Amino acid sequence: MVIKRLLPRLLAGLSLFASATLLASAPPVMAGAPLDLSAYKGKVVYLDFWASWCHPCEQSFPYMEQLKSRYGPDGLVIIAVNVDHSRDRANSFLKRVGSDLTVVYDSEGTLAQRYKVHDMPTSLLIGRDGRIRYTHLGFHPEQAANYNNQVAELVHEN
């Protein structure tokens, strides 16, 4: 298999993902990209791509803060990946919405491209096994109960 032969070379020197399952299901992070999912092995990860100009993103941040409060103690980690070219705009947005979520800046769009993100926001819900289990395109407040059920399902899986 070509991928099996090339993957070690592509990831040489990078401790990006700890499990083969995560390698198979999530795009690898390239050198210089600011995210290392191996730090969250065994956790449920809510990976949210957002931008300061995105109105639905303003609505999603309070929701993610609630998720963090409710499920953080049970192993949920929320990582907000900003795709703005200007970090100042991103920081102004964060100040405006009052967020203290973990933020990764992806001004070059490296991570967004790897995860094939086209809509803002896009959220990927990654199970403890490292697989992407759910994808949310946009943020729809009327779907919050459904989102909550998905998070609860993954947090309570063994």
Q: Identity (one letter) of the amino acid at 73?
A: P
Q: How far is the C-alpha of 32 from the C-alpha of 157, rounded, in Å? A: 33
Distance from the first to the final alpha carbon of the chain: 32
pLDDT in tens, 109-158: 999 998 999 999 999 999 999 999 999 999 999 999 999 999 999 999 97
3-state helix, strand, coil split of the chain in percent (to 5) is 45, 20, 35
Roughly what angle, to the nearest 10 degrees, separates helices 55-71 and 87-97? 60
Q: How far is the C-alpha of 45 from the C-alpha of 49, rounded, in Å? A: 13
- pTM to 2 decimal places: 0.79
State whether CATH 3.30.70.1150 applies to domain 26-155: no
